[in-house]
Each structure stands twice: as C-alpha cells, then as structure tokens.
Structure 1
Amino acid sequence: MATVDLTTETFDEIVSKDGIVLVDFWAEWCGPCKRFAPIFEQSSEDKTEIVHAKVDTEAHQELGAKFGVTAIPTLMAFRDGVMVFNQAGALPGPALQQLVEAVETLDMDEVRAKIDEHDATEH
C-alpha cells in the first residue's frame, strides 16, 4: 500500500481508526526527510496492513502545531486511535521495522490503563 497524504480535514478520521497508523511529518526542503522517504515507502510496501501516512508541514502547518512538531522529520505511531510513539529524526530501516514490531505487540488495554492513571494524577 502506498503512503496516504493527510490533511487537516482527513487527519483525525484516519488516525482514529482501529489498527496502526504511522505518520511522517515532513517538508519538501528537508534533507533528512528526503532520505527517510524511501525507507518509509518501503515499509508501506512491506507492511500493507498498516496505514503509512504523510503530513506536509508546509501545507498543513496547523497539524504540526497541534502535535507540537518542532523538528522534521517527526514520526508518530497511532494504534487504535491512541498515539503510542512520537519522535523527531529519520529512522534507518531496521529501526523503523523494530518500531512497527513494538507497536504491533503493545497490549492496548494496558496502554489505556496507563493513560487513565496518568490523567487521574493530573487532575
């Protein structure tokens, strides 16, 4: 499956679905983004059950701001609508593969329990 371009209008709809969505925040002028692009594209071909999406931070600055993206590329992973990973910097292929495997094996009930616990201590 090829990568999907996300916009402000489509972002929430795509990342809130069940399953895994990887989001690459990038810009045309960004050298590291251009080096990461083929790695991300290869992952989309290898792992067709995972949505691989891209956000052009120049065209959709409000999305970058919403998620506090201050450096690009920034990679985020969502599973079942929950952000489970957020890191700036281009990953090499093996590291991206490890990330995907880690997200696939997450116990989402445990993740949600930790979020609830964290939210309870914040109030």
Structure 2
Amino acid sequence: MLRYLDAETFAQAIASGIALIYFGASWCTPCKNISPVIEEIAAENPDITVGRIDVDEYGIVAAEYDIMSIPTLLFFKDGKLMDSSIGVVGKNIIQTKIDALK
C-alpha cells in the first residue's frame, strides 16, 4: 500500500527494512504517469514500505536528499540510501532495484 508521508513519517518509513520513497507533486505530469506503476509495486511488494513525499508540501525532505527533478525514486535499506532513479522508469526497472536489496 502506498503511504503518503510527511517529514516525521518519512524518517519512520526508512528506518528499517526496505523502503521505496517516491518524490513527486500534484502538478507534475510525469509524476501522474508513474503513480499507477508505484501503486502496483506497492501492492505486489507488501514486505516493503512504499511512500510518497509531495515536494511542494515537504520540500525540506526533498532538499535533504538534493531532489532537483521529479519524479525521483529513492531506495533505502535499514535507513541507508542504496539507489535512486530520476524520471519515469519502467516497472521492471523499479522491481529489479527492489529485488537487489532483498
């Protein structure tokens, strides 16, 4: 399940296990295109945390990770940033990055 995160819940979401965090904005057309893919990934991977950060509302979190373009995907394992992807990417690429962390 895709969770909408804020600065506080973001820290909790990445603290342990595998987490995919999606940075986007409501006005971003590429974000609208990738959102259904992220929702599918979340549904198919119940053992990981999948969260979304709205960069307009929580720019401080985006700034902490130098997010300059959206959509951006960050892949964490036990609180450590392991991988990232910028722009619209295919579901298979996202899943491969998740599988590499398992």
The bucket for the TM-score relative to the shorter chain is over 0.9
- Segments of 5+ residues of structure 1 without an aligned counterpart are 105-123
- Is residue 62 of structure 2 the alignment partner of residue 57 of structure 1? no
Say which SS state the counterpart of residue 10 (structure 1) adopts: helix
- Segments of 5+ residues of structure 2 without an aligned counterpart are none
Residue 87 of structure 2: aligned partner = 89
Give 1:46's match in structure 2, choosing from 14, 35, 44. Answer: 44
Q: Which amino acid letter does the alignment assign opposite residue 71 of structure 2?
A: P
Which structure has the larger Rg? 1
Structure 2 CA distance, aligned partners of 1:25 and 1:55? 5
1:58-85 per-position Cα deviation (integer Å, ceiling 9, x unaligned): 1111111111000000000100111101
Q: Tell me the C-alpha RMSD between the 2 structures.
A: 0.9
Task: Give the percent of matched residue pairs that are identical in Structure 1 and Structure 2.
Answer: 28
Q: TM-score, normalised by structure 1?
A: 0.79
Residue 24 of structure 1: aligned partner = 22
Larger relative contact order, structure 1 or 2 (CA cutoff 8 Å, min sep 6) = 2
Q: How many residues align?
A: 102
Q: TM-score, normalised by structure 2?
A: 0.95
Structure 1 CA distance, aligned partners of 2:100 and 2:70? 22
- Is residue 74 of structure 2 the alignment partner of residue 76 of structure 1? yes
Q: Which amino acid letter does the alignment assign opposite residue 60 of structure 1?
A: Y
Between Structure 1 and Structure 2, the one with more strand by share is 2
Runs of 4+ in 1 over 3 A off after TM superposition: none
